[in-house]
Amino acid sequence: MYVYDEHDRKMAAERVAQFRDQTRRRLAGELAEEEYLPLRLQNGLYVQRHAPMLRICVPYGMLRSKQLRRLARVTRDYDKRFAHFTTRQNLQLNWPELEQVPDILEELAEVEMHANQTSGNCIRNTTTDQFAGVQSDEIADPRPYCELIRQWSTFHPEFAFLPRKFKVAVNASEKTDRAAIQVHDIGLQMVRNEAGELGFRVHVGGGLGRTPMVGPVIRNFLPELDLLTYLEAVLRVYNRYGRRDNKFKARIKILVKALTPEGFAEKVEAEWAHIKDSPTRLTPEAVEHIKGFFTEPAYEALENATDLLASQRFENREFDQWLAHNVDTHKKPGYAIVTLTLKQTGTPPGDVSDEQLDQIADLADEFSFGEARVTHHQNVVLADVRQDRLLELWQTIKPMGFATANLHTLNDIICCPGGDYCNLANAKSIPVAEAIQLRFDDMDYLYDLGEIDLNISGCMNACGHHHVGNIGVLGVDKKGDEFYQISLGGSSHHDAQIGKILGPSFAREEVPDVISNIVNVYVEQRTSEETFLDTYRRIGIKPFKERVYA
Amino acid sequence: MPEVITAEGALRQDDWVVVPRPEEGEALTLPDDKPALVPADLWLENEATFANRDDIGVWFDSHDEPEILEGKVNEVPLIAVNFPRFVDGRGYSIARLLRERFGFEGDLRAIGDVLLDQLQFMKRCGFSTFVLRADKDASEAARYLDFFSQTYQAAGDTDLPLFRRRAS
- Residue range A85-112, pLDDT digits in tens: 998 999 999 889 999 999 999 999 999 9
Contacts of B163 in chain A (CB under 8 A): 148, 151, 282-283, 286, 289-290
A255 and A153 in a common domain: yes
Task: Tell me what the mean pLDDT of segment A108-132 comes to.
Answer: 97
Nearest residue in chain A measured CA to CA from B123: A157
B78 touches chain A (CB under 8 A): no
Inform me whether the pLDDT recorded for A494 exceeds 80: yes
- B53-96 pLDDT, tens digit each: 999 999 999 999 999 999 999 999 999 999 999 999 999 999 99
The span from the CA of B91 to the CA of B98, in Å, is 10
Cα-based angle A48, A52, A57 (whole degrees, multiple of 5): 105
The span from the CA of B56 to the CA of B50, in Å, is 6
**Residue A120 included in any domain:** no
**Residue A409 included in any domain:** no
**Residue A105 included in any domain:** yes
Query: Which among A11, A244, A289 has the least Cβ separation from residue B166?
Result: A289
Q: Which sign, positive or negative, has the C-alpha torsion A96, A98, A103, A105?
A: positive
Look at chain B and report how many structural domains it folds into.
1
Contacts of B101 in chain A (CB under 8 A): 274
Confidence of residue B168 (pLDDT cuts 50, 70, 90): low
Restricting to B residues 43-62, those with a Cβ less than 8 Å away from any Cβ of A are none
Contacts of B118 in chain A (CB under 8 A): 160-161
**Residue A121 included in any domain:** no
pLDDT of residue B13: 93
Q: How far is A441 from chain B (nearest CA, A)?
A: 49
* Lateral strand order in the sheet of A380-386: A62-64, A371-374, A380-386, A335-340, A327-329
- A40-93 pLDDT, tens digit each: 999 999 987 667 899 999 999 999 999 999 999 999 999 999 999 998 999 999
pLDDT of residue B166: 85
> Is this complex's ipTM strictly greater than 0.90?
yes
Inform me whether the pLDDT recorded for A467 exceeds 80: yes
A3 and B158 in contact (C-beta within 8 Å)? no
Query: Which among A22, A121, A279 has the least Cβ separation from residue B154?
Result: A279
B152 touches chain A (CB under 8 A): yes
A131 and A139 in contact (C-beta within 8 Å)? no
A153 and A273 in a common domain: yes
- A436-456 pLDDT, tens digit each: 999 999 999 999 999 999 999
pTM: 0.96
A274 and A148 in a common domain: yes
Quote the domain boundaries for residue B13. Answer: 3-167
Q: What is the CATH number of the domain that holds B26?
A: 3.40.50
β-pairing, B56-60 vs B78-83, is: parallel
Q: Do the chains contact at B89 and A10, CB–CB below 8 Å?
A: no
Quote the domain boundaries for residue A371. Answer: 306-400
Q: How far is A102 from chain B (nearest CA, A)?
A: 16
Task: Tell me what the mean pLDDT of segment A161-185 comes to.
Answer: 96
pLDDT of residue A421: 85
A374 and A89 in contact (C-beta within 8 Å)? yes
Nearest residue in chain A measured CA to CA from B136: A30
Top-confidence residue, A353 or B25: A353
A391 and A473 in a common domain: no
pLDDT of residue B7: 96
Restricting to B residues 12-41, those with a Cβ less than 8 Å away from any Cβ of A are none
A332 and A427 in a common domain: no
Contacts of A290 in chain B (CB under 8 A): 163
pLDDT of residue B1: 58
pLDDT of residue B167: 67
Mean model confidence pLDDT for chain A? 96
Confidence of residue A346 (pLDDT cuts 50, 70, 90): confident
- B99-137 pLDDT, tens digit each: 999 999 999 999 999 999 999 999 999 999 999 999 999
Q: What is the CATH number of the domain that holds A317?
A: 3.90.480.20
